[in-house]
Amino acid sequence: MAERAHLSTDRLNGVCETLLIPLAARVVESESVAPAFYDERGVALADLLDFDPHVVARDRWNKVGCQARTLILDAAVNDFLQRHPRALVINLGAGLCTRFWRVHARESLRWFDIDLPSVIELKRELLSQFDKEPEGSRRQYTTLDADVTDPSWLEQIPRTNDEQVLVIAEGLLMYLEQDSVQQLLKTLVDEFTGGELLLEAWSKFVRRVWGRLSPALRRTGASLHWGLDNPRTIEAWDSRIRVKNEWRPGDWEPHRWGLLRYAPALRRSLTKVLHFQLGEAVDAVDAQHSAA
């Protein structure tokens, strides 16, 4: 392969600069002495962007929160793929997420990373520097430029009866108004009944104060709009959406959280990763028989 070309971070401005925060957190962890995970593709992307991840990741709580949610979501996605070998994964607000290259698919996998056109244009330019999936691979990766609050993006995803669907919304919903969050979740359960949803939610406290306190978010000028304290709130919005599991990133290695290690209740309350069932679950074996 030819030497990869570096791209300037001048391409990132405004809210799009939030792309660098989780990427930097993953790179810093990957380059540590005993990393909890290694994000090879993320390290390569950071090298292409030619920025200093350690500078972007100076905000300790943002950094550790991103690292913790990476571990949680990687494990949850791998669990889904273990249960459903033929899977369609839809990653909303994907940014510079590199999870596709970290997960372990047993048989076949179709994966869609969806984000705004400017973000996807940048991601495509970055990914063009790498080799494609090897010939014969049954893993398929696609980038799709779309506004996730406009349901027309669904028309661009072909469906098959024997695939089970997992939707991921990581680092996304806190930037949307509550009405948009509610409508998006209704659209997902309408379209992907029998599928599953993984989402990250920040507490109402974080929504109110974190944009003012976080140096990283202040630099981007991003605004936080939606907060969630009780996941049952989402069940009340639509009875077809049911909580399957809940994880607290603040439970991960308290010593990493600085002064928050002395405030476990506050640390655990800041953010959560939630796992929902969308409508009635469909067994993978039943799905394969249905397609036969």
Question: What digits encode the pLDDT tens for the residues 33-90?
Answer: 999 999 999 999 999 987 899 988 888 888 999 999 999 999 999 999 999 999 999 9
157 has a pLDDT exceeding 60: yes
Q: What is the pLDDT of residue 56?
A: 87
Half-sphere exposure of 192 (CA within 13 A, CB side): 28
Give domain limits for the chain.
Answer: 9-291
Percent of the chain at pLDDT exceeding 70:
86
User: Global pTM?
Assistant: 0.91
Residue 136 pLDDT grade (very low, low, confident, very high; cuts 50, 70, 90): low
Q: What is the pLDDT of residue 224?
A: 85
Q: What is the mean pLDDT of residues 228-250?
A: 97
Residue 2 pLDDT grade (very low, low, confident, very high; cuts 50, 70, 90): very low
Q: What is the pLDDT of residue 290?
A: 44
Least confident interval from 121-135, 143-157, 177-191: 121-135
234 has a pLDDT exceeding 70: yes
Mean pLDDT of the chain: 88
- How would you write 206-265 as a 3-class SS string? HHHHHHHHCHHHHHHCCCCCCCCCCCHHHHHHCCCEEEEEEECHHHCCHHHHHHHHHCHH
Q: What is the pLDDT of residue 10?
A: 52
Q: What is the pLDDT of residue 5?
A: 57
Q: What is the pLDDT of residue 13?
A: 47
Question: Which strand ranges, in their side-by-side order, compose the sheet holding 271-278?
Answer: 139-145, 108-115, 86-92, 164-169, 196-202, 271-278, 241-247
Q: Does domain 9-291 have CATH number 3.40.50.150?
A: yes
> How confident is the model over 11-25, as pLDDT tens digits?
544 335 678 899 999
